[in-house]
Structure 1
Amino acid sequence: MIKKGLLVMGLIAAVIGPLKAAYLLLPMDADKQKQHLKAYGVTYWVLNNGVEAWWLLNYRGGSFAFEHTKLFEKECLTRGVSYEIIPDAQFKNILDQIANPEVNMEAMKLEKAPKIAVYTPEVDGKGKAIQPWEDAVTLVLTYAEIPFDMLYDREVLQDKLPQYDWLHLHHEDFTGQLGRNRGYRNASWYEEYRQRSEDLAYSLGYKKISHSKLAVVKKIREWVAGGGFMFAMCSATETYDIALAADGVDICNEIFDGDPEDPNAQSKLDFNKTFAFKNFTLANGPYGHNFSTIDVGRGWSRNVAPQQDYFTLFDFSAKWDPVPSILTQCHTRTIKGFIGQTTAYKKQYLKTNVLILGEHKAQNEARYIHGIFGKGFWTFYGGHDPEDYLHRVEDPETDLSLHPDSPGYRLILNNILFPAARKKERKT
């Protein structure tokens, strides 16, 4: 793609001749950007054409900048992204302002567009995932026009992951309990979901869904340890760690896999194997939507009215802590809460090395967390859809054209561009 991008730039120069040195600035202020989400897509597109970009952390909402060409300007116009043309000298002054040790800003160079994969069930003939619910990451990638590949258990176990820099785990149940959705057992989609899951596990050589999912979880862990970037939302966050802790232990009720769970399963959990969580207790019995005590539960059990459900992003030092600063870039520090099968995390179950990026302080819950594993990184984001507070199974998908400045969706896209940054060691 780099060679192709350089060829494009060469053709531009040949057609329109040299341009006066200037930069395109994509402002990310609350009132200056019409398409916050699509601005990420334009920046990704520029990187994909072999041109480096700047991410100006904490400068005007986390703005982007790259060299000005008529082609790049046209792309901004086509996608409706607000931009400003900044002369070279003015851009240098901005970098000098950001470099001032007295201001909480940093200029991060973005070097290469990351190759993105979404872990999601098999797709139909139209390229849509077969399931009764949509995925927020897939929605926002599509809206922002950022390309991605879809893969699932077969591709992961065939060692396809090393082809990618970034992986999103769909709203998955890695414990083999079919999402603990027994309340929907009479719905046609539930039986189809169960049958497809079993057929896939058998075709891969496993006797149970839980066994195939554990193999997938361990493959992903190896990939992260080698330098991959893993992002997960909703139930995929909690069940990923539960599956790791329960390696070699049957935690599935016979309703799910045909034989009873180990009566001593709880005492056999190994929390040393998990990414984020420790000392949690598994849910009792096959009924109920909760997997464990990690999750804070649904809105009515949290005693938080939907109109008062917000969480706050931490304000990190951009110069000293660039990684969490990247992940929390936004035009507001207060984000609307939203419910999922796994909504948020009780702080007492977080490991000491877990970094909390966003929290509901009054409820003592973490909503957005991050950590390092081996040479790689992981980020967990609670909830299902940042713009649909209580999204239910089979509800229509969110129309992001109605939410082009969504702060909750911006956090997802921060993670998308994170692998493109020239990273510095965290100092605190």
Structure 2
Amino acid sequence: MKQPLSFLLILLAITGQISAAWANAILIPMDDQQANHLKAYGIAYKVLKDEQDVDWLLNYRGGSFMVKQTAAIETECRVRGVSFETISDSKAASIKQQLSDPDVNMNVVTLQKAAKIIVYSPIKVSPAEFENTDAVLLVLTYAEIPYEVVYDEEVLKGDLAKYDWLHLHHEDFTGQYGRNMHRQSLTDIKVQEDIAKKYGYSKVSQMKLAVAKGIKAFCAGGGYLFAMCSAAETLDIALAAEGVDIVGSSYDGDGMDPNAQEKLDFTKTFAFGNFTLEADNGYRGFSTFSDINSAGGRGYDQPGGFFELFNFSAKWDVIPSMLTQNHESIIKEFFGQTTAFRKGAVKPSSLVMGEGKTSDRYLYGEMGRGQWTFYGGHDPEGLRGGGGFRNPTDLNLHPHSPGYRLILNNVLFPSARKKKRKT
């Protein structure tokens, strides 16, 4: 009995070692072998939420993720339809060694803390049907990444400091209700008027300026801001026009300052300068705010219909490398109220991460102790023009969308910050 028992113990030990050797890490590829790129980000976020680290392998197989192996994570990947590979510790170490080679444009960034995410949206207080097509709300829900919704009151009360990551989308911070009735309903407008009155502002434009300044303070204090579509444009317009009436009589009952353009202060903005305001075309007039928007109401700005991501050094330009991780570097253009950014309006301090032939599409910068990204357009998989722009995109049809991946890169970016020490 001793010999068979000893043999059995040795066999169990060997098989146990083999099992341990080949099941110590999970690689989530983000190249063409990935079955669902967007939901893969949700897996990475869940691991962080469970207080485990995620290694982001920059420029390795499309920006893959590597995590410690557990049966729970494997199950979660299978349930969500996310491709993964179980690898040994030695294989994981070999990959990291490969990425550390100074001759290759790759790197490993360890993500350590799930960001507290909020989306600024009027759906907090009103029906706001148009906002239901907010690409970030859609992709956060699809990727199963939890978030909260805030609007003007939360900003005015100073609640932003409780969070790490703030998104702005189809919003008008100038107080002109999107420049026409197609953008906001009477209910949406009434809610904003009520909030302004509650907090002692005589005009919605004054209240929206206070909100814009609150958002700027959030970012300067160390928060991360991600803005798309008209929010990116109107936030800077509102900040530049502090103390200047740029709102026509059709919106607030009195005329705009005839010298408003000359009084703009571009030192107060995030990304844009040297821009010209569009004239007031009436309550149901044009929806263009300024010449920051290179499309100027044409829908999208070039016949080719594509923009290109820049290739950054993963070792020296780590932040833009994280924000541009993708399995494709050429991405189809998509329209929006602010489709793309005129090159001449982009400040030299703004880092361009993606550009089309005639415009900049994807910008990054720093504000105080925080960071921000501005992304032109409304929906990366939206129709390129004509009708249907009010219909939410079904992301089940676009699980590999490179345009949506850029959004999710931004969601994970704050997790690269170091955890606070426990004392």
TM (norm. structure 2) is 0.90
Decide whether the 8 Å contact of 2:122 with 2:151 is kept in 1.
yes
- Aligned residues: percent identity? 54
SS at match of 1:162: helix
Tell me the CA shift for residue 200 of structure 1.
2.0
Given the alignment, which residue of 263, 271, 289 partners 1:268?
263
Decide whether the 8 Å contact of 2:300 with 2:335 is kept in 1.
no
Instruction: State the distance in 2 between where 1:152 and 1:44 align.
Output: 24
Tell me the CA shift for residue 284 of structure 1.
1.0
Partner of 1:22: 24
Decide whether the 8 Å contact of 1:121 with 1:131 is kept in 2.
no
Partner of 1:7: none
Task: Give a deviation string over 1:200-235, Cα, whole Å, max 9, x none.
Answer: 211222111101110011111111111000000000
Partner of 1:142: 141
Given the alignment, which residue of 291, 294, 299 partners 1:293?
291
Q: Which structure is larger by alpha-carbon Rg, 1 or 2? A: 2
Tell me the CA shift for residue 123 of structure 1.
3.4
Aligned residues: 395
Partner of 1:249: 244
1:404 aligned onto 2:399: yes
Partner of 1:210: 205
Instruction: State the distance in 1 between where 2:360 and 2:301 align.
Output: 16
Query: Could you tell me which amino acid in structure 2 is paired with residue 139 of structure 1?
Result: L
SS at match of 1:150: strand
Partner of 1:39: 40
Partner of 1:57: 58
Instruction: State the distance in 1 between where 2:367 and 2:202 align.
Output: 30
**CA pair 210-87 structure 1, distance change in 2 beyond 3 A:** same
User: 5 Å matches for 1:16-415?
Assistant: 20=21, 22-30=24-32, 32-123=33-124, 130-133=128-131, 134-182=133-181, 184=182, 190-286=185-281, 287-297=285-295, 300=298, 304-305=302-303, 308-360=304-356, 362-363=357-358, 365-390=359-384, 395-415=390-410
Task: Give a deviation string over 1:48-89, Cα, whole Å, max 9, x none.
Answer: 001011000000000001000101100000100000001000
Decide whether the 8 Å contact of 2:300 with 2:339 is kept in 1.
no
Deviation larger for 131-140 or 43-52: 131-140
Task: Give a deviation string over 1:269-305, Cα, whole Å, max 9, x none.
Answer: 0001001111111001233111001111257476633
Query: Could you tell me which amino acid in structure 2 is paired with residue 27 of structure 1?
Result: P
**CA pair 129-314 structure 1, distance change in 2 beyond 3 A:** farther
**CA pair 304-151 structure 1, distance change in 2 beyond 3 A:** same
Tell me the CA shift for residue 132 of structure 1.
2.6
Instruction: State the distance in 2 between where 1:303 and 1:320 align.
Output: 32
Instruction: State the distance in 2 between where 1:291 and 1:303 align.
Output: 16
Tell me the CA shift for residue 122 of structure 1.
3.9
SS at match of 2:362: strand
Q: Which runs of 5+ in 1 are unaligned?
A: 1-17, 424-428
SS at match of 2:130: coil
How well do the aligned residues superpose, as a CA RMSD in angstroms?
1.9
Q: Which runs of 5+ in 2 are unaligned?
A: 1-18, 419-423
TM (norm. structure 1) is 0.89
Query: Could you tell me which amino acid in structure 1 is paired with residue 76 of structure 2?
Result: E
Decide whether the 8 Å contact of 1:230 with 1:378 is kept in 2.
yes
Instruction: State the distance in 1 between where 2:225 and 2:177 align.
Output: 22
SS at match of 2:185: helix
SS at match of 1:132: helix
Query: Could you tell me which amino acid in structure 1 is paired with residue 374 of structure 2?
Result: F
Instruction: State the distance in 2 between where 1:178 and 1:285 align.
Output: 12
Tell me the CA shift for residue 394 of structure 1.
6.4
Instruction: State the distance in 1 between where 2:185 and 2:406 align.
Output: 31
Instruction: State the distance in 2 between where 1:303 and 1:118 align.
Output: 28
**CA pair 211-421 structure 1, distance change in 2 beyond 3 A:** same
Query: Could you tell me which amino acid in structure 1 is paired with residue 155 of structure 2?
Result: V
